[in-house]
Structure 1
């Protein structure tokens, strides 16, 4: 049997819309298609192929684990689907990464470290036993100091 060559659908569908279509019974067929790096979902709605996309990135949603995808579809009430593994490449799974998430986590850790440092600085400042000088007193002290320095220069 020749593998089914599935053209990439031009219509896109996110999770919210897929969920609504599954609830309304508008889905005619569901295809799980192996890709380098994971599994994608194609849905036939009114004889038009749609591909499931990730909500944030807008890219084709890839599931690394087949079991995760099956559970996802079952949770939506989609119990029957066809699987096309002809273009699936399991060697690509280990190299599939989300650099955008790695950068976001790095920034989150840096922000948390800064918040901790800042809170420590504020706490130390509040506990400082040094005498508090009012603005007017500080201005008078610096004015006297400047006058003293000018006298030395002359």
Structure 2
């Protein structure tokens, strides 16, 4: 069966690993596909392509080295075929336009986390050296009640 033809039925990765544990996989072929590499296994007279997680589509590895490592290390097949007939690395656009925005948000979150931790540490140091005064619960209750009353007065003054 050539790799340019329709791929055979699929098998999920966990089942393939169980087949490997049972040492029933007889052969493996790494198949070049548009945008990556698929893996086909043979056990008995059955051929199946490893599926992507929770899909009915073949799993594609971006490069041949990672596909080969999967076949050798996970499936335990040291000798396998490679069919690059249908391989076209440029067939799939893998760019992620949202990456820059996601990275920017991650850096902002990390910076905020550093700032927040520094503020907490300054307060703890201030409590330890006496430069920050702790407020007793009763005093805090009076402050909160006064603030609440002030907010209610400002809300009442607003036109509806």
Instruction: Tell me the CA shift for residue 140 of structure 1.
Output: 4.9
Instruction: Tell me the CA shift for residue 41 of structure 1.
Output: 0.3
34 and 65 in structure 1: CA distance in 2 versus 1, 3 angstrom threshold: same
| Counterpart check, 1:133 vs 2:135 | yes
Q: Is the 8 A contact 1:13 1:50 kept in 2?
A: no
What TM-score, normalized by structure 1, do the two folds share? 0.63
Summarize deviations over 1:64-103 as a string: whole Å, max 9, x none.
Answer: 222332233222421232332221113347x435789888
Aligned to 2:152: none
Aligned to 1:30: 28
53 and 99 in structure 1: CA distance in 2 versus 1, 3 angstrom threshold: farther
Give the secondary structure class of the aligned counterpart of 1:126.
helix
111 and 20 in structure 1: CA distance in 2 versus 1, 3 angstrom threshold: farther
Within 5 A, what are the aligned runs for 1:1-154?
4-14=3-13, 16-55=14-53, 60-75=58-73, 76-92=75-91, 95-97=93-95, 109=107, 111-128=109-126, 129-140=131-142
Q: Distance in 2 between matches of 1:110 and 1:96?
A: 25
* Superposition RMSD in Å: 3.9
59 and 138 in structure 1: CA distance in 2 versus 1, 3 angstrom threshold: same
User: Which consecutive unaligned segments of at least 5 residues does structure 2 have?
Assistant: 148-160
98 and 142 in structure 1: CA distance in 2 versus 1, 3 angstrom threshold: closer
What TM-score, normalized by structure 2, do the two folds share? 0.62
Q: Distance in 2 between matches of 1:29 and 1:142?
A: 74
Give the secondary structure class of the aligned counterpart of 2:132.
coil
User: Which consecutive unaligned segments of at least 5 residues does structure 1 have?
Assistant: 146-154
141 and 114 in structure 1: CA distance in 2 versus 1, 3 angstrom threshold: closer
